[in-house]
């Protein structure tokens, strides 16, 4: 039997193109895996097993409670730690500010009270001398102006006398030389208060002023510090000012 030769003229361009080095032919298994993400893998392929494992993990994650998810633990710990840290700072700040305010207010009140008494004394002397001796009246007004300038808030509470934490920079001795220091001791030891208290004591002695006769004076306001007790005695030869 004689067979006729097959005419490959029509497919020759395609078969010759397969020899072109620029064309890469993938193995059958790899070519099938290329489209697995579109059409899915067959049950026997490795990708199919991998997909099944992923599906199982997703299902287990969905079924597990949210609080037990491993990825939530660090986040929840960080959130609770930050919240507790902020709460602790807020509580400590409020407590510290209140305590600092209470202490600073009491000490500032003592210093301000003494400064106010001194300035008030000079104001009374200046007012009493108005219309009397011109030189004495002028001197009293000058003393009052100088005292107001040095005993103003910016001066007595300035950084020259106080640290940033509220402690004082000047030397303070306890009452009667004791170790316990009260706010009144700190106020009397203030350099500006001591300076002008000596001036006030001199004015009291010069004009024979009786402090006990001034209405509204409190007992603790009339107590003399040990440093100036000797200069506050009222001489009997002086005529008291007419208040």
Q: What is the pLDDT of residues 183-236, one digit of tens each?
A: 999 999 999 999 999 999 999 999 999 887 665 544 444 344 334 333 333 334
Output Rg (C-alpha) for the chain, integer angstroms. Answer: 48
Confidence (pLDDT) at 56: 47
DSSP 77-110: HHHHHHHHHHHHHHHHHHHHHHHHHHHHHHHHHH
What's the pLDDT band for 179 if we cut at 50, 70, 90? confident
User: Which pair of tokens denotes residue 94?
Assistant: 């409020």
- Whole-number Å distance between alpha carbons of 25 and 28: 9
Span 52-98, pLDDT tens digits = 455 445 554 544 455 455 568 888 878 877 777 677 767 766 666 67
What's the pLDDT band for 146 if we cut at 50, 70, 90? very high
> Which alpha helices (DSSP H) does 40-180 contain, by range?
46-63, 72-129, 134-150, 153-156
In the chain, % of residues over pLDDT 70: 53
Q: Which residues of 30-55 are buried (b: 16+ CB within 10 A; e: fewer)?
A: eeeeeebeeeebeeeeeeeeeeeeee
Cβ neighbours, 10 Å, residue 157: 17
Long-range contacts of residues 65-74, Cβ cutoff 8 Å, at least 24 apart: none
Average pLDDT of the residues of the chain: 72
What's the pLDDT band for 156 if we cut at 50, 70, 90? very high
């Amino acid at each position: 039997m004689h067979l006729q030769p097959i005419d490959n003229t029509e497919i020759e361009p395609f078969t010759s193109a397969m020899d072109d080095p620029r064309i890469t032919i993938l193995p059958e298994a790899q070519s099938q895996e290329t489209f697995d993400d579109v059409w899915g893998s067959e049950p026997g392929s490795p990708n199919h097993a991998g997909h099944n494992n992923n599906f199982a993990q997703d299902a287990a994650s969905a079924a597990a409670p949210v609080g037990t998810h491993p990825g939530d633990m660090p986040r929840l710990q960080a959130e609770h730690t930050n919240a507790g840290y902020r709460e602790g700072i807020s509580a400590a700040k409020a407590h510290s500010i209140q305590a600092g305010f209470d202490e600073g207010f009491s000490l500032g009140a003592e210093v301000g009270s003494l400064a106010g008494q001194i300035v008030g004394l000079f104001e009374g002397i200046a007012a009493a001398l108005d219309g009397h001796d011109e030189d004495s009246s002028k001197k009293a007004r000058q003393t009052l102006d100088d005292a107001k300038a040095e005993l103003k808030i910016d001066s007595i509470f300035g950084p020259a006398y106080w640290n940033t934490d509220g402690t004082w920079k000047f030397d303070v001795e306890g009452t009667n030389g004791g170790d316990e220091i009260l706010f009144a001791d700190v106020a009397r030891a203030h350099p500006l208060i001591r300076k002008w208290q000596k001036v006030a004591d001199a004015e009291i002695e010069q004009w024979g002023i009786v402090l006990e006769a001034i209405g509204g004076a409190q007992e603790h306001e009339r107590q003399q510090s040990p440093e100036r007790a000797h200069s506050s005695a009222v001489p009997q030869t002086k005529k008291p000012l007419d208040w």
